[in-house]
Amino acid sequence: MSAFPSSAEPTKGYASHEEACPVVQIKTIGTEQRNPNTLEIDRADTAEILRLMNEEDKKVAPAVEQVLPQVEKAVDVIYAHMRCGGRLIYCGCGTSGRLGVLDASECPPTFGVEPGLVRGVIAGGPDALTNAAEGAEDHFEDGAKDLQALDFRAQDVLVGIAASGRTPYVLGAMDYARALGAPVIGLTCCPGSAEKKFFISDHQLAVGSDIEENTDLVFLV
């Protein structure tokens, strides 16, 4: 077993979501804004709707290309910790959480890794995979509780997925991981969001907004 890669010293966690992420105006959050290119999408015919969606989809690859250096850093951190016995843990709410769980579940059959090497946690628990758990994302403390249930440790790596970069459940998990000294990676559509304060280094992957005010490119990557 090789030496465990160095991480930041454990830090004191935040007492609450309010402390970790002060209230901000919705109008300042990129993912909550209307896309000017699709303001009339509800009045378009089927062909035009599909064309508009396809045009927005074309923006995904260039958006990801802009953050490839950060993706590289994140991949190298995950690889180094896996070599030393660590796991990759995804954390998210709603669609973000479902995609994390989906990716984790695909790793054993696709890459032949041991079950449990990559795990996903979602606000509201397993039932939230098939039934919307409205309000589950608002509980800051539950993110930490779900990581504790997985016996999350400093050698593991947490990837917090939050389109707005300020979802309480995800920030709570990131806060807990950071307090242990574990690497924390953020996947968001809002550069410079609240997620950034939880990073050991600059591992925020921000890829921009999409068709509607509540959808985003991170869901399409």
Active-site residue, from 18, 65, 106, 134 = 106
Residue 164, H or E segment: none
Is 106 tagged catalytic?
A: yes
Give the active site residue among 72, 137, 141, 213. 137
CA distances from 162 to 16, 28, 35, 137, 194 (A): 18, 16, 19, 10, 10
* DSSP symbol at 156: S
3-state secondary structure 99-112: HHHHHHHHHHHHHC
Structure tokens at 196: 């950034």
DSSP state of 203: -
65 is a catalytic site residue = no
| Catalytic (active-site) positions | 106, 137
